[in-house]
Structure 1
Amino acid sequence: MTLSASTSGLRRLFSATFSPSLKNLSVCAARNSSSIPQIEGIDNSNLPPLATPKLFISGLSRITTDEKLKEAFSRYGQLLEAKVITDRVSGRSKGFGFVKYGTIEEAEEARKGMNGHFLDGWVIFVDPAKSRAQKATAKQPETCSSQSGVKANKTVGWCG
């Protein structure tokens, strides 16, 4: 199982409504007030290296603010930016945000330290941020042409 597959499995597990019947959920107890509980079983030691000091934070609670995000991530180095993305109309959090550090090394420490931790009662996941160009190329569906010149989306239509 790859790291991304296990992370996506955890996201599905924790995006569902929390139920006391989840007996396999094991959370490390906070040893002091400054530590943040983490889900046991997440291996943050063999993550691929970062190429940018900007991190994508998903799984944020609707009550998480820029200030709370900054407070949680500031212990790992100099934060240049901490932003929770909000809806333009309602102003409510969309459940994700970004943090940017001065160096890639600080971002690496933050990713290892915060991935799978609780923030405002929700499990957050820390991944490398992708540039808009990377997202645009990843979203373009593969198409194929038939002899008539009609193009069909492979995921929806047919080719022939």
Structure 2
Amino acid sequence: MAFSSAFRRLLSGSSSITTSPFASARFSSTLTAPKLFISGLNRNTTDDKLREAFAPFGQLVEAKVIMDRATQRSKGFAFVTYASIEEAEKAREGMNAKFLDGWVIFVDPAKPKEYRPPPQADSQQSSEFGFKTNKTIGWCGN
């Protein structure tokens, strides 16, 4: 009974799912840069296939599938950059939740890369006998 009423509310558009602030933020955010983030890619999608799919929406500057360094396989997401924000917005509206190579892809605005501080040097403490303290295991030799 509860499922049918929730399903009826979802179909009528009065569900709390569709009116949540998170759902509205995802669908109503405007682009501030002409770069798009594409997720849900098929692992066999190449840069050329991505370029071919997104080319009808405007002048592409770059279409790049992100690859794993170790395995040289796709990580399942990509970035597409257009010459203007208007072209990127058209591509976002036209390609979001569409099929590409048999998989449904999602197109969102790309976020700027976050700064990560460089890794710190090894902070193990040396004793006067040349041994170092390892916080995980205890004492270990040099």
- Fold in common (TM above 0.5): yes
**Larger gyration radius, structure 1 or structure 2:** 2
**TM-score by structure 1 length?**
0.56
**What is the match of residue 97 of structure 2?**
116
Q: Which amino acid aligns with 2:107?
A: V
Query: Does residue 92 in structure 1 map to residue 70 in structure 2?
Result: no
Q: Which amino acid aligns with 1:88?
A: R
> What is the CA distance between 1:88 and its match in structure 2?
0.3
**What is the match of residue 39 of structure 2?**
58
Query: Does residue 68 in structure 1 map to residue 49 in structure 2?
Result: yes
Q: Distance in 2 between matches of 1:74 and 1:3?
A: 32
Alignment CA distance shift 1:3-1:93 (3 Å): farther
Structure 1: runs of 5 or more not aligned: 9-45, 137-160
1:72-151 counterparts in 2 under 5 A? 72-133=53-114
> What is the CA distance between 1:48 and its match in structure 2?
2.0
Q: Which amino acid aligns with 1:71?
A: E
Q: Distance in 2 between matches of 1:75 and 1:3?
A: 32
Runs of 4+ residues over 6 Å off in structure 1: none
Structure with the largest fraction of strand: 2
Q: Distance in 1 between matches of 2:99 and 2:23?
A: 20
Q: Distance in 1 between matches of 2:95 and 2:21?
A: 16
Q: Distance in 2 between matches of 1:3 and 1:114?
A: 23
Alignment CA distance shift 1:4-1:69 (3 Å): farther
Report Cα offsets for 1:32-85 as digits up to 9, x if no partner. xxxxxxxxxxxxxx6321000000000000010000000000000000000000
How many percent of aligned residue pairs carry the same amino acid? Answer: 63
Q: How many residues are matched?
A: 98
**What is the match of residue 14 of structure 2?**
none
Structure 2: runs of 5 or more not aligned: 1-17, 117-142
**What is the match of residue 28 of structure 1?**
none
State the Cα RMSD in Å: 2.2
> What is the CA distance between 1:4 and its match in structure 2?
4.7
> What is the CA distance between 1:99 and its match in structure 2?
0.2
Q: Distance in 2 between matches of 1:112 and 1:119?
A: 15
**TM-score by structure 2 length?**
0.63
Alignment CA distance shift 1:103-1:123 (3 Å): same
